[in-house]
Structure 1
């Protein structure tokens, strides 16, 4: 029987020793992947502690779920399907990742252990660049001395010659045609014609250049990590052979400073996979690694999908009546009278 300790050892093995092993790793300030993330919004900062977040080392583990961001949906699904541990890529915060309630209470309710990795997992494999059609010859995970600011520089694979090839490759590998078919079925069954879903509406597209524009050397950036126009100028100065900027996981609009800077430098600009597909980019490789290192443990993927639907298309007649009654009788009428 495998235990939480075995899972922790497996995570330490596949990250090359990056997980937290003791309280001293957290308090000493010396562990390179114990990182404080804060926008200085009062009370909303977080400390990343890669490895075991909550649980006992001797707890038996039969089933693991790999997910991107642990939510109350994840915890409820774990409790309903006999999952013993959730391994989240993104850092876990009290309340924020546990339905607004105390993390310990919620996890204890279903006997679920929680792990996180995030920055400790970044840069361990070349999968994201491979999916986007290039082979990395330079990799930075703290570009410009900014923790978590990732930059890849790579040359395109033999089968990728144009910007259009990059998009076609992503559509095929990410199974976006299947996602479109599933969305069409859900819209039809739920009678919600306005429904849209993130993996299809945020698919890759070209901002500077065209489908037939040649591409040879790519600067692959991730705007949400803090990559700025100044970083782009610096990277291009270091790699004048680059002809294309590729932004993935997070996206930018046409008027963003990164795009205007790329245009000024004479570079193409293409947007790749959004953050919603990282469960396939990073989650699947992690899950397969755990499946190999822990052959006696069942590994599943928790994938959350987010949809947007017009208000008046949500629910059947009875549910709509319920929501309207609660709104009219308890949320609106009393407050309007008080005003």
Structure 2
């Protein structure tokens, strides 16, 4: 019988002591981090470990997710999940359908954990998936919290930029994703108007061609605040670099980072998008929990987001319902 508190201890072992145990001073803990853009009232405090729940609660079924939402909470409640480990920070309202976490989680008796920065840098999986082996890593590059930088050399089987793209498509099983989307389009009669995130955010080459040879990689994550100054400094520190890979977050071909790579004579490739981190980080975490606690059933909650034109959503009864609400109660008020 595994308790919530035992999972906390397991996560602390897994992260080499980065998880709160409930006895230390949080203000001095290196992975208790405020995240803020300066937008009023929208900052959040990362607290790796147990966010909410009874430490004595017995866990028989555990879910691993990326970003906690009401969908995760409802799925957990409907399928007998006792606890959820979310990778991203958890916040009242934002992670619980606009209501308070306490009320929502108490309703179903679900315990919640978070890791995020405390999990970063623990395994070389993301570089491996992108075809290189890391020889230097920094999860606070330029003294910025969460600003991750990897420097690596390509694996023997990776010769050029095209090999990286082919490798990602194979590991992420994007062919199956294409088949799923085609099947859903056919069922819903949507032709090409149904779009799914992972297929429209595939890897691409911004500087170079599929045949461009590569050897030394700088792997960056633009959404962490990685700047032109960071890029220039990294190129000075690792002068042998010939290629920059940007993943999880993406940039446009007019990005200042791309333009700077032109000036520095570097290739630039965009890898996996954020939606695929459930495979990159979530799946290794899920397998780790399965190994640490074989008595517990471990499942993975995957986010899947699709885009559909408003006129194509739902059957005729649902469309008529939406039009009636809009015409009689929403738009009508504007013209009264």
TM-score normalised per structure 1? 0.98
What is the RMSD of the two structures over their aligned residues, measured on CA atoms?
0.7
- Equivalent residue, structure 1, for 2:141: 143
The alignment status of 1:307 with 2:294, answered yes or no, reads no
The alignment status of 1:209 with 2:208, answered yes or no, reads yes
Alignment check: 8 A CA contact 1:204 1:270 kept: yes
Please give the secondary structure, in 2, of the residue aligned with 1:213: coil
Alignment check: 8 A CA contact 1:153 1:217 kept: yes
Deviations 1:55-90 (A, max 9, x none): 011001000000000100000000000000010000
- Equivalent residue, structure 2, for 1:218: 217
Please give the secondary structure, in 2, of the residue aligned with 1:124: coil
Cα distance, 1:24 vs. partner? Answer: 4.3
Please give the secondary structure, in 2, of the residue aligned with 1:139: strand
The alignment status of 1:111 with 2:109, answered yes or no, reads yes
- Equivalent residue, structure 2, for 1:6: 6
**4+ aligned runs moved over 4 Å, structure 1:** none
Cα distance, 1:22 vs. partner? Answer: 1.7
The alignment status of 1:56 with 2:54, answered yes or no, reads yes
Structure-2 change in CA distance of 1:30 and 1:122 (3 Å):
same
The alignment status of 1:75 with 2:56, answered yes or no, reads no
**Number of residue equivalences:** 335
Distance 1:272 1:24 in 2: 38
Distance 2:62 2:21 in 1: 20
Deviations 1:128-187 (A, max 9, x none): 000000000000000000010000000000000000000000000000000000000011
Alignment check: 8 A CA contact 2:9 2:21 kept: no
Distance 1:85 1:47 in 2: 20
Cα distance, 1:6 vs. partner? Answer: 1.1
The alignment status of 1:273 with 2:272, answered yes or no, reads yes
- Equivalent residue, structure 2, for 1:191: 189
Q: Which moved more, 1:148-157 or 1:14-23?
A: 14-23
Alignment check: 8 A CA contact 1:192 1:314 kept: no
Cα distance, 1:304 vs. partner? Answer: 1.1
Unpaired stretches in structure 2, ≥5 consecutive residues: none
Deviations 1:233-263 (A, max 9, x none): 0000111100000000000001101000000
Deviations 1:238-290 (A, max 9, x none): 11100000000000001101000000000000000000000000000000000
Please give the secondary structure, in 2, of the residue aligned with 1:159: coil
- Equivalent residue, structure 1, for 2:166: 168
Please give the secondary structure, in 2, of the residue aligned with 1:135: strand
Cα distance, 1:25 vs. partner? Answer: 3.2
Distance 1:132 1:25 in 2: 38
Alignment check: 8 A CA contact 1:51 1:116 kept: yes
Please give the secondary structure, in 2, of the residue aligned with 1:246: strand
Alignment check: 8 A CA contact 1:54 1:113 kept: yes
- Equivalent residue, structure 1, for 2:18: 18
Cα distance, 1:335 vs. partner? Answer: 1.8
